[in-house]
Structure 1
Amino acid sequence: MPPLPLLRLPRLVLCEVFKSLSIGEKIKLSFCSKKVSIQINNAQFYSQKVIVDLDILNQNIRVHSENNKDTFEIYTYPGSWNSHNSNTHQYPIAGCSAPVITTPTGIKIFWKNYPEGFLSVIQYLLKIFQCKFSTHIRLYNSDIYQPVISELFHLQLEFKKITISLNGSEQRNLLWSKIASNLGLVEELRIISVENPHVRPVVTYWPEKISVTSFYWFQSLLACTCTRITLDWLHLDNKDLDEILRKWKAGGFPNLEHLKIDGQGIKIIGTTILEMHLWELAGMVIQTDDGSKNGTIRIDTGSIEMSVTSFH
């Protein structure tokens, strides 16, 4: 059977062909020629949306579908590779020619300029897919994360999730300031803060979802406008829980749809919450003072969840 003249297909048919391909097939097909790469670029808005997980510390990338069923891994390495290896091919990526080796789960790419190569792969993916990014910024090595995060925000790219560990260092505070000033591009923010009373947020725009593990953020979060709030604090107790629920009843947390609080200080027998013991709240439906919302409460050991229903 003669090969299919792919680029001669009508544009709409070609777009349907691209839609039927897996993530890895699209990426590998784009390497075939500049013409194919251009056609995939032209058809990218017919393509599926993908999440791009960035392991910035190790310079690895995992591209997956929104349902996580279709995945492709890209490993980037410094230096070059033996060009005589039968598994190695030279491919143009973002204007550079790089050795590429196929693996069972993805590809390995070797770069002479390692940091620039990582960003080049990101730029290449943006030409093929509609991307949202996700990354975990770990406790140390802020200098590694800064250029990548800054460049992605400079390009006004959207993040599905950012997880950041805060330690109060000058470099990490600068990185946090960059993220905090761009939270309009972030859907979910998870903050892992060391127990340091000096590590406190300055937030002018709240993301859709937030998760925090530091008690020292408590007062700042009372002004939170997120739809989903998760608080995982060892020091949070019944008194704090009472303050949060009273704040919600009075009209605070205006966009809240789901609240989850974990804390070793939350006790079945302890300070009353909304003038009730904790166990009395189990399964209860509470209402805002203006009657516009109901909150259904579920109690578990050391934790409480509330799902909100709005009548507007």
Structure 2
Amino acid sequence: MPIALLKFPNDLLREVFRLCNPFELYKLSKYSKKFSQKAITLGATKKWKIGFWCWNEITICVDRSYYNFSQTDNPENYYKTIFGGCDNYMDIEFPNGGVVELFLHLLDTFGIRIVHSLGIKFTNFEDFLKIAKDLVDRNIEIEQFAIENDGEVQDVVNFMPMLNQMNITQELQCSMKFPPDFHFDFVKYPREISISNSSWFTFDQLMDCTSARVELKNSLFTNHDLDVFLQKWKKTGTFPNLRRLRIHSIQIDIESPIQEMILPIQNVDNPMIRVLMRNYIYPNIFNPVRVSKDDGTEGWLKVDVGNWPEFNFLM
């Protein structure tokens, strides 16, 4: 016997939504426009998050489980589901507006205000750009954002000004290799930054950075730059958020000391040091040297030279 679900009181209907997994709620939202509007009104029953990596699949994250909506052109497979514990999949017919329309539909249906992860994969850059613009317009938080090193470099160069308009809070990863004349200044920094080709990340940006973790590979920082950084770090009140700084640069050499220490900088008598951030233990530093701020705060420093010159600093 059919149930007149839409006639339920709002409190009861909200409880029904709370018990639904994303697949069930999506199918209910497709039942009618009226139901979809009801779902929007009574949304945010859970802390839904959404993820998109520019292919024909969108992920809803809730309670540490991932629900993946995958495109299929076979009507026989519509709403076919596979439950695998943390990772679950359902095949659906994408709307006429494709992945962009589906993304916006899921945002509204689930009352989503947080993007778990968003990445540029160049299988469909135009779709990504439309979604990014909508997220900016809605001022939706993006926890993790990634720029992959494939596709048209100029597309990413043109996109980068929008990066400062996006509300990226937790982590930015960038592996794109930009042209030598590329320049970009951050207006705000997420909690963590990891840049694989970081020659464009300037010393001024490092000195202004407010992130807790910074990892820069293939940078152009010199011994002098790193010495000046440590001089500033030692002053009371500077870099209050910083917990981990890791910089690879071919400019690091044995010619100039850092903080009056000859390179390589290490101490075989010191213990292994590690840092815990966001419930994740970052790689250990073996045999670092202890350094101190003016207020007594301790840091641990190791600088390697040779085939992989690297400045490694933990607080």
* TM, length-normalised to structure 1: 0.71
Offset, 1:190: 1.9
Aligned residue in 1 for 2:80: 102
Q: What aligned pairs does 1:280-291 form with structure 2 within 5 A after superposition?
A: 280=267, 282=287, 286-289=291-294, 291=295
Assess, with a 3 A threshold, how the Cα gap between structure 1 residues 274 and 60 changes in structure 2: closer, same or farther.
same
Aligned residue in 1 for 2:314: 306
Which has the larger displacement, 277-286 or 125-134? 277-286
1:117 aligned to 94, 98, 102, which one? 98
- Contact in 1 for aligned 2:57/2:70 (Cα 8 Å): yes
CA distance in 2, matches of 1:188, 1:135: 11
Offset, 1:264: 6.8
Assess, with a 3 A threshold, how the Cα gap between structure 1 residues 4 and 195 changes in structure 2: closer, same or farther.
closer
State the secondary structure of the residue aligned to 2:135. Answer: helix
Assess, with a 3 A threshold, how the Cα gap between structure 1 residues 151 and 9 changes in structure 2: closer, same or farther.
closer
Give the letter for the 1:172 counterpart.
V
Q: What aligned pairs does 1:147-166 form with structure 2 within 5 A after superposition?
A: 147-165=130-148
CA distance in 1, matches of 2:44, 2:299: 40
Unpaired segments of 5 or more residues in structure 2?
Answer: 83-88, 271-286, 305-309
CA distance in 2, matches of 1:303, 1:25: 50
2:259 aligned to 274, 280, 283, which one? 274
Aligned residue in 1 for 2:248: 263
Aligned residue in 2 for 1:71: 66
Assess, with a 3 A threshold, how the Cα gap between structure 1 residues 212 and 49 changes in structure 2: closer, same or farther.
same
Is 2:128 the counterpart of 1:145?
yes
Assess, with a 3 A threshold, how the Cα gap between structure 1 residues 300 and 285 changes in structure 2: closer, same or farther.
closer
Aligned residue in 2 for 1:294: 297
- Contact in 1 for aligned 2:290/2:299 (Cα 8 Å): yes
Offset, 1:173: 1.9
Which has the larger displacement, 2-11 or 217-226? 2-11
- Contact in 1 for aligned 2:145/2:168 (Cα 8 Å): no
Assess, with a 3 A threshold, how the Cα gap between structure 1 residues 183 and 70 changes in structure 2: closer, same or farther.
same
Q: Deviations over 1:102-127 (max 9, x none)?
A: 34212232344xxx322211211122
2:53 aligned to 44, 55, 71, which one? 55
Aligned residue in 1 for 2:199: 215
- Contact in 2 for aligned 1:190/1:212 (Cα 8 Å): yes
Alignment RMSD (CA, Å): 3.7
Aligned residue in 2 for 1:175: 159
Aligned residue in 1 for 2:11: 12
Give the letter for the 1:297 counterpart.
W
Assess, with a 3 A threshold, how the Cα gap between structure 1 residues 238 and 109 changes in structure 2: closer, same or farther.
farther
Aligned residue in 1 for 2:44: 45
Aligned residue in 1 for 2:114: 132
Unpaired segments of 5 or more residues in structure 1?
Answer: 89-100, 308-312
Assess, with a 3 A threshold, how the Cα gap between structure 1 residues 173 and 267 changes in structure 2: closer, same or farther.
closer
State the secondary structure of the residue aligned to 1:123. Answer: helix
Give the letter for the 2:161 counterpart.
S
Give the letter for the 2:162 counterpart.
K
- Contact in 1 for aligned 2:95/2:101 (Cα 8 Å): no
Offset, 1:176: 0.6
Assess, with a 3 A threshold, how the Cα gap between structure 1 residues 183 and 48 changes in structure 2: closer, same or farther.
closer
Assess, with a 3 A threshold, how the Cα gap between structure 1 residues 287 and 207 changes in structure 2: closer, same or farther.
same
Offset, 1:55: 2.0
Assess, with a 3 A threshold, how the Cα gap between structure 1 residues 300 and 241 changes in structure 2: closer, same or farther.
closer
CA distance in 2, matches of 1:86, 1:137: 31
Offset, 1:240: 4.7
